[in-house]
Amino acid sequence: MLPQYLTVKTEGTHEINIQKSRFITHLKRAETEEEAQAFIQEIKKEHWNATHNCSAYMIGENDQIQKANDDGEPSGTAGVPMLEVLKKRNLKDTVVVVTRYFGGIKLGAGGLIRAYGRAVSEGLDAIGTVQRTLMTIMHVKVDYTWLGKLENEIRSSVYQLKEIHYADTVEIEVYVKEDQINEFQEWMTELTNGQADISDGEQLYMESDVK
């Protein structure tokens, strides 16, 4: 699992008009090629009467799956410039379809490349991107006498408090980045004079908006 990566924020649609042609950008996350292809077919079915439904996707930790499809536009004028925008933005696990309804004015090869690239760029700006950071949930069990001190320390630290469980002892759950686990454990041990029971739990991704 990657420590962190960028991807599209949510599934969404954004439309622009260029020389009377409608360019509708559809974006979605896809973690497998099957998901990406299913989304492309869904858009094609929805916009069956469109002039073109061009697509591109980047999938995998190392971007090992990259595909671009011009769907009838001149070769290299749609899918590739769409894929280039995903690459330029360093996005992973992202699929995009740009639906075009032809407005009667031909754009030429250069115009098409610019139009499809712009459609994806503006679509991403409108829908948004996020950074996903891999976190481990650390569990800290202590006597109640430590609760006030630890809660204050954690809230004013770089770590993020997840939850506090009250039982015979108190258990504090904290989100910690993978490369900060040892540092966190040492910090907790020092704060509690070695009286904390510290263990690591599940891993999950936390998302933050990219401006």
133-210 folds as: Alpha-Beta Plaits (3.30.70)
Contact between residue 194 and residue 152 where contact means Cβ atoms under 8 Å apart:
no
Specify the pLDDT at position 49.
Answer: 98
The DSSP bridge partners found for residue 208 are: 131
* 156: Cα separation from own chain's centroid: 27
pLDDT digits (tens, 9 = 90+) for 135-148: 999 999 999 999 99
Share of the chain above pLDDT 90, in %: 98
Share of the chain above pLDDT 70, in %: 100
pLDDT digits (tens, 9 = 90+) for 31-51: 999 999 999 999 999 999 999
pLDDT at 201 over 80: yes
Domain 4-127 class in CATH: alpha beta
Specify the pLDDT at position 133.
Answer: 95
pLDDT at 211 over 90: no
pLDDT digits (tens, 9 = 90+) for 79-121: 999 999 999 999 999 999 999 999 999 999 999 999 999 999 9
Specify the pLDDT at position 107.
Answer: 96
Helix axes 181-191, 147-155, angle to 10 degrees: 140
Tally of CA atoms within 13 A in the half-sphere of 92 that contains its CB: 13
pLDDT at 22 over 90: yes
Q: Which amino acid is at 170?
A: V
Specify the pLDDT at position 48.
Answer: 98
Mean pLDDT of the region 152-169: 95
SS3 158: coil
Mean pLDDT of the region 66-72: 98
pLDDT at 1 over 90: no
Mean pLDDT of the region 3-19: 97
Rounded Cα gap, residues 102 and 113, in angstroms: 15
Specify the pLDDT at position 163.
Answer: 95
Rounded Cα gap, residues 122 and 12, in angstroms: 12
Question: What's the pTM?
Answer: 0.86
> Can you give the residue ranges of every domain in the chain?
4-127, 133-210
4-127 and 133-210, same CATH topology: no
Concatenate the DSSP letters of all residues of 94-123 into one string.
EEEEEEEE--S---HHHHHHHHHHHHHHHH
